[in-house]
Amino acid sequence: MSKKTVKFNTKGMVCSACEMLIESSLSSVDGVEEVSSDYAKETTTVTYEEERVELERLIEKLEEAGYEASVA
Ligand SMILES: [Cu+2]
């Protein structure tokens, strides 16, 4: 299985609760291995298994959580 790490701009983050929200939301996606969010930079770095998760799915999840997401 090949792992991929992608960094997203996650605009709209304002506090550490945003980090926790994003981290728990993305961690619940099957195939996601690691999520690291930084509200000061408004970025989220995700490591996932390419065969199991679509990049689009991650963006969708971030948008659902309430953030404006794009690949950094
Ligand atoms: Cu917040």
For position 11, which CATH number holds? Answer: 3.30.70.100
Strand order in the sheet with 3-11: 32-38, 43-49, 3-11, 68-71
The domain total for the chain is 1
Cα–ligand 1 centroid distance for 18 (angstroms): 4
What's the chain's average pLDDT? Answer: 97
Secondary structure letter of residue 42 according to DSSP: T
Q: Does the pLDDT value for residue 48 go beyond 90?
A: yes
Which residues constitute the domain of residue 48? 3-71
Local confidence band at 3 (pLDDT 50, 70, 90 cut-offs): very high
Cα–ligand 1 centroid distance for 39 (angstroms): 8
Cα–ligand 1 centroid distance for 52 (angstroms): 29
Q: Does the pLDDT value for residue 17 go beyond 80?
A: yes
Q: How far apart are CA 44 and CA 59, in angstroms?
A: 11
Local confidence band at 1 (pLDDT 50, 70, 90 cut-offs): confident
* Percentage above 90 pLDDT, the chain: 99
Cα–ligand 1 centroid distance for 22 (angstroms): 10
Secondary structure letter of residue 57 according to DSSP: H
Q: How far apart are CA 19 and CA 37, in angstroms?
A: 5
Asked if 6 and 71 count as a contact pair (C-beta separation under 8 A), the reply is yes
